[in-house]
C-alpha cells in the first residue's frame, strides 16, 4: 500500500508520511459515512478489518496487551500531575476490571462493563457512591484510549453517572473544635488541628510542608496542591501560637513542619495524621472526625460569613467552582434564620 520500501531519501520520507496521513483520513471518512448505518459493534468490526488490511502502521498497535494499555494510561496521568496515591487508585480499579473482563481492550463492550459494575456492587455489597467512583475511573481510562485513537469509541459513553443520595455532610462544631484542642496529648497535634481548621488545606499538603514554608509574620504559607499547583493559604492567630509552641518544643533538625514524636523524627505521613486525628475523635465520642472534615468545615464557615465563593475556590485550590460548591454545605441554622427574616 505504501511506498516505504522503495523510497529512502529525505524527500521520500516526507512523501511516505503524507501517504500515511492520507490513508488515515480516508479510513476516518469511511467510518464516518458508515456510522449511521451500522451498530457500534459493527463499526468496531469494520474499523478492525480496515486497519488490519489497509493501515500498515496499525500492526504495532494490535500487539499491545491490556496491561500495556493500562501502563500507557498511567504514564499519561503521571505526566498530567496525578499523585502516586491517585495513580495507584486508578491502577487497582482498572486491573480488577481487566481481570474480570478478559476481552482485548478494543473489543470490550458496554454490556460487559455494565455487567461488571453490577456484579461488583452485589459481591462487595458496596454503596452506589463507591460504584460511581469506580465508573468514573473506568470512564477516564476509556476516554483516554479514545482520545489517543486506540479505540474507535469508548464503551463507557452509554454508562451514565449513577444517581446517589446527597446527604448533608456534617461539619465540626465550634464546641467540638475546642474539645479536640483541649484533649491533644502533644503540642504537635494541637498545631495540626489548628492549621487544618484555619487553612482548609488537604492532609497531603499538610505533610509536605516544611518549617521554611511558614511565614509567621504574615500568617501565611505556600502549599503545593494536586498537580503540584502552588497556592498561598492563610492561618489564624491560634494556629500561629500553637505552631510556634510545637516548633519550640522540638529538638530535631528535620526541615519538615510535622514529624513523628519518636526518634528518628521522620516526616509525618498522611496515614499518621489520619490515624492520630481519628483516634482523638473516637476517644472524645465525636462523630467521624478525620482530616478532610476540617477542610469542609473551613469552606462552610467561610461562605456562611460572606466570603465570595470564588475566593473560597482559590483558597481550597479547586480548578472547578462546582467542586467548591460540593464542599460548601449550607448551615441549616442560617437557613432557618433567613426564613424567619424574609418569609415568616
**Residues 245-275: pLDDT tens digits?**
999 999 999 999 999 999 999 999 999 999 9
Among 61, 78, 97, which residue terminates a domain? 61
The dihedral through the CA atoms of 137, 138, 139, 144 has a sign that is positive
Q: Which residue has the higher pLDDT, 126 or 202?
A: 202
- At residue 187, φ and ψ (nearest 5 deg) are -55, -30
User: In terms of Cα–Cα distance, which of 92, 111, 91 is closest to 101?
Assistant: 111
Residues 187 and 303 both lie in one domain: yes
Tell me the C-alpha distance between 155 and 114, whole Å. 10
| 27 is a domain residue | yes
Looking at per-residue pLDDT, the higher value among 7 and 302 belongs to 302
Residue 207, in any domain of the structure:
yes
269 and 335 assigned to the same domain? yes
Rounded distance between C-alpha atoms, residue 196 and residue 218, angstroms: 17
- Average pLDDT score, the chain: 84
Q: What distance in Å separates the CA atoms of residue 133 and residue 108, rounded to the nearest whole number?
A: 20
pLDDT at 164 over 80: no
Give yes or no: residues 134 and 36 share one domain.
no
Q: Is residue 56 scored above 60 in pLDDT?
A: no
Nearest Cα to Cα of residue 77 among 63, 91, 67, 66: 91
CATH assignment of the domain containing 280: 1.10.443.10
Q: Are residues 22 and 134 in the same domain?
A: no
Least confident of 128-142, 163-177, 187-201: 163-177
User: Are 205 and 275 contained in the same domain?
Assistant: yes
Q: Is the pLDDT of residue 37 over 90?
A: no
Residues 323 and 220 in one domain: yes
pLDDT of 97 higher than 60: yes
Residue 233, classed as helix, strand or coil, is strand
Looking at residue 9, its pLDDT comes to 41
Q: Is the same domain home to 260 and 311? A: yes
Which cell goes with 334? 442560617
Give the model confidence (pLDDT) of 102-123 as tens digits. 889 988 999 999 999 999 999 9
- Regarding whether 50 and 91 lie in a shared domain, the answer is no
Give the pLDDT confidence score for residue 259 in this predicted structure.
97
User: 60-69, 121-130, 326-335 — which is least confidently predicted?
Assistant: 326-335
- Mean pLDDT, range 93-98, rounded to an integer: 95
Structural domains of the chain, count: 3
- Can the peptide bond before residue 317 be classed as cis, meaning omega within 30 degrees of 0? no
Which of 147, 163, 192 is at the close of a domain?
147
Are 215 and 298 in a shared domain? yes
Domain that holds residue 28: 10-61
- Do 138 and 181 fall into the same domain? no
Residue 122, domain CATH: 1.10.150.130
pLDDT at 44: 79
- Which residue pairs from 137-146 have beta carbons closer than 8 angstroms and sit at least 24 positions apart in sequence? 137/89, 137/90, 137/93, 137/94, 138/93, 138/94, 138/97, 138/113, 140/90, 141/70, 141/73, 141/90, 141/94, 144/73, 144/76, 145/69, 145/73, 145/105
The answer on pLDDT for 217 being more than 70 is yes
Q: 29: which 3 cell numbers?
A: 471518512
If one compares 19 and 300, the residue with the highest pLDDT of the two is: 300
Q: Where are the beta strands (DSSP E) in the chain?
A: 214-215, 220-224, 230-234
Single out the residue of 172, 182, 202, 123 nearest to residue 286, CA to CA.
172
Q: Does residue 62 surpass a pLDDT of 60?
A: no
Helices (H), 148-186: 174-182
Identify whether the C-beta of residue 295 lies closer than 8 Å to the C-beta of residue 274.
no
- Residue with grid cell 460511581, as numbered in its chain: 132
With vertex at residue 221, the alpha carbon angle to CA 216 and CA 223, rounded to the nearest 5 degrees, is 160
Amino acid at each position: 500500500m505504501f511506498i516505504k520500501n522503495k523510497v529512502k531519501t529525505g524527500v521520500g520520507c516526507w512523501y511516505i508520511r503524507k501517504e500515511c496521513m492520507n490513508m488515515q483520513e480516508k479510513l476516518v471518512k469511511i467510518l464516518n459515512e458508515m456510522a449511521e448505518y451500522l451498530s457500534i459493534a459493527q463499526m468496531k468490526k469494520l474499523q478492525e478489518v480496515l486497519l488490519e488490511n489497509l493501515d500498515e502502521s496499525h500492526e504495532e498497535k494490535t500487539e499491545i496487551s491490556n496491561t500495556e494499555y493500562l501502563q500507557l494510561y498511567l504514564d499519561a496521568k503521571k505526566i498530567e500531575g496525578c499523585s502516586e496515591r491517585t495513580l495507584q487508585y486508578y491502577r487497582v480499579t482498572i486491573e480488577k476490571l481487566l481481570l474480570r473482563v478478559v476481552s482485548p481492550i478494543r473489543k470490550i463492550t458496554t454490556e460487559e462493563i455494565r455487567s461488571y459494575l453490577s456484579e461488583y456492587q452485589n459481591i462487595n455489597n458496596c454503596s452506589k457512591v463507591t460504584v460511581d467512583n469506580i465508573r468514573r475511573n473506568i470512564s477516564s481510562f476509556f476516554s483516554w484510549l479514545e482520545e489517543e485513537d486506540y479505540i474507535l469509541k469508548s464503551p463507557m459513553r452509554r454508562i451514565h453517572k449513577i444517581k446517589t443520595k446527597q446527604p448533608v455532610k456534617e461539619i465540626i462544631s465550634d464546641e467540638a473544635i475546642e474539645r479536640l484542642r483541649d484533649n491533644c496529648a502533644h503540642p504537635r497535634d494541637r498545631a495540626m488541628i489548628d492549621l487544618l481548621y484555619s487553612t482548609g488545606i488537604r492532609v497531603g499538603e499538610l505533610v509536605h510542608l516544611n518549617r521554611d514554608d511558614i511565614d509567621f509574620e504574615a500568617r501565611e504559607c505556600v502549599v503545593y496542591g494536586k498537580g503540584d499547583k502552588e497556592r498561598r493559604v492563610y492561618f489564624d492567630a491560634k494556629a500561629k501560637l500553637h505552631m510556634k509552641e510545637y516548633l519550640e518544643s522540638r529538638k530535631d533538625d528535620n526541615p519538615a513542619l510535622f514529624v513523628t514524636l519518636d526518634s528518628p523524627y521522620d516526616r509525618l505521613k498522611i496515614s499518621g495524621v489520619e490515624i492520630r486525628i481519628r483516634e482523638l475523635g473516637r476517644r472524645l465520642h465525636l462523630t467521624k472526625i478525620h482530616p478532610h472534615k476540617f477542610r469542609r468545615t473551613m469552606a462552610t464557615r467561610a461562605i456562611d460569613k460572606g466570603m465570595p465563593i470564588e475566593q473560597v475556590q482559590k483558597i481550597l485550590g479547586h480548578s472547578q467552582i462546582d467542586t467548591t460548591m460540593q464542599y460548601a454545605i449550607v448551615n441549616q441554622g442560617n437557613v432557618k434564620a433567613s426564613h424567619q427574616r424574609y418569609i415568616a
